Every structure is written in C-alpha cells, then in structure tokens.
Amino acid sequence: MPQLLTHPEWCDPAECDAVGPFAQHRGRARRIGGPRPGDVHIAARLTCTSDDPLPEAPVSVELVLTRTEHPADAAYLLDRSTAHHLHAALGELLPAMTA
Ligand SMILES: [Zn+2]
C-alpha cells in the first residue's frame, strides 16, 4: 500500500518537487530585485528534502541570486542559525544606508 505524501504547512503545491528529481518540498518564493541592468535578483524560500520524515526533516532557507546581466544563478542553502545571523547582520547594516 503506497504511503500518503504529507507536506509541511509552508509547502507551495505549485513549487513542490517532493516526488520529482530534486525530492524537495518548496515554499513560495519571495522575490526581491532592482530594476537597473546589473542589479541582483534574489529569490528566497523554505525548502527541505522529501526523503526525510516530517517534521524532523531539516528546513533550510534557499537563496537564489541572479544578476540581470549574467544568466547564471548562484543558489545557497542556509540553515536556521545562518539565516538568523544573516537577518541580524542585515538589521545592523540597513539603518546605516541612506535612501
Ligand atoms: Zn511539498
């Protein structure tokens, strides 16, 4: 009897690849990007492998960075600690930036 596949509550059915070649649950991507040529576009979303049982499967923040002038993507998986430190670092840096 086949097991029913369960998804984390944050999993987006349109993005989920739990039974696909990447075997990953994927959340809705938050997209950030500037309008100028050369600006970096960032997609951030939650992801975890569908090979590990829920809810123990480690969840990562997936960041995909794309430069508008260069089609190659750079993808990074951040664990909870690294994502927390990135959030804190951006919180420290942002107030020093001028509009
Ligand atoms: Zn899923």
Tens of pLDDT along 18-64? 999 999 999 999 999 878 888 889 999 999 999 988 888 999 999 99
* Pairwise CA distance, residues 24 & 12, whole Å: 11
Q: How confident is the model at residue 3 (pLDDT cuts 50, 70, 90)?
A: low
What distance in angstroms lies between residue 98's CA and the mean position of ligand 1's atoms? 40
Give the rounded distance of the alpha carbon of 61 from its chain centre: 4
Residue with tokens 């500037």: 34
Compute the half-sphere exposure of residue 61: CA atoms within 13 Å on the CB side of its CA. 16
Residue 2 CA to residue 22 CA, distance in Å, equals 20
Separation of 16 CA from ligand 1 center, angstroms? 4
Q: Hey, what are 58's tokens? A: 């480690």
Structure tokens at 10: 């944050």
Taking the centre of ligand 1 as the mean of its atom positions, its distance from the CA of residue 60, in whole angstroms, is: 14
Q: Which residues pair with 32 in a beta bridge?
A: 42
Residue type, 45: R
State the pLDDT at residue 90: 93
Write down the pTM of the prediction.
0.82
Q: How far is the CA of 28 from the centre of ligand 1 (A)?
A: 11
Taking the centre of ligand 1 as the mean of its atom positions, its distance from the CA of residue 26, in whole angstroms, is 6
Residue 32's pLDDT is what? 92
